[in-house]
Amino acid sequence: MSRLLSFWRGRHDADSFEACVAPHMERLWRLALRLQGRPADAEDLVQETLARAWRHRADVLALDAPGPWLARVLTRMHVDRWRRRNALDAAESLPDPDRAVIEADTKETSSLATVSAEEVLAAVRALPDRWRLPVLLHDAEGYSLEEIGRMLGIPVGTLKSRLHRARSAVRKSFGDGT
């Protein structure tokens, strides 16, 4: 009998988990694809996120809105992968672009109005990860700066500055920005 109960408990957990996470799958998949680029890597990332969510299913099921929790896990796993690849070390050995003096963008005409969507997206993909992440999470996925700050463990002020630099860099890739 206890085996039967255990089985049904496991089944109930699985059903509840699916009902809770399924509405967020498309968003998770889109974010993973944008972060990773290659579909196979994106799939791995989502699977790892689901596996972790399942391990913490009691917490996930208790959340009113599990979307940001899932996105945070996925994003942090992406960042961990990025760090494991030593990309961060390599980046840190270069002059820190966040420490450069930040200036207002002074170009007085639109840079993006005449370029194709694909060119704009390519310019975003070419950004360094530290600038690309805030743009993707904020401008593409619609998370607030406060939510992104919690996901990445970065102060909102720094995020605002990175977002500005990223947007400026995208504009400058289609003109001199002056």
Partner 1 sequence: MDCLSVQQDLDALREGRSSDGQADRLRAHLAGCDACRAFAADVALLRERLMAEPVPAVPASLRRRLREPAAPASVSLWSRRRVLPCAAALALALGLAFVLSRWRAPSDAPFVEHTVTLAVESAGDLPGVTLRLILPPGAEVAGHPGRAEIEWQDDLVAGVNRLRIPLRLREGTDGVLVARIERQNKVRELNVLLPDRRG
Q: Contact residues for partner 1 (CB under 8 A)?
A: 2-3, 6-7, 9-11, 13-14, 17-18, 21-22, 25-26, 29-30, 33-34, 39-41, 43-44, 46-48, 50-51, 53-54, 102-113, 117, 120-121, 124, 135-136, 138-140, 142, 144-145, 160-161, 163-164, 167-168, 170-171
Nearby residues of 104 by Cβ (< 8 Å), 6 or more positions away = none
Smaller CB separation from partner 1, 94 or 118: 118
Cβ atoms of residues 131 and 71 within 8 Å: no
For partner 1, which is the closer residue by CB, 18 or 92? 18
Measured distance CA(175)–CA(158) in Å, rounded: 25
Q: How far is the CB of 121 from partner 1 (least distance, A)?
A: 6
For the bound state, the minimum distance from the C-beta of residue 53 to partner 1, rounded and expressed in Å, comes to: 6
Q: Of 137, 169, 170, 167, nearest to 152 (Cα)?
A: 137
Alpha-carbon radius of gyration of the chain: 20
46 three-state secondary structure: helix
**Could you tell me the smallest distance in angstroms from the CB atom of residue 68 to partner 1?**
16
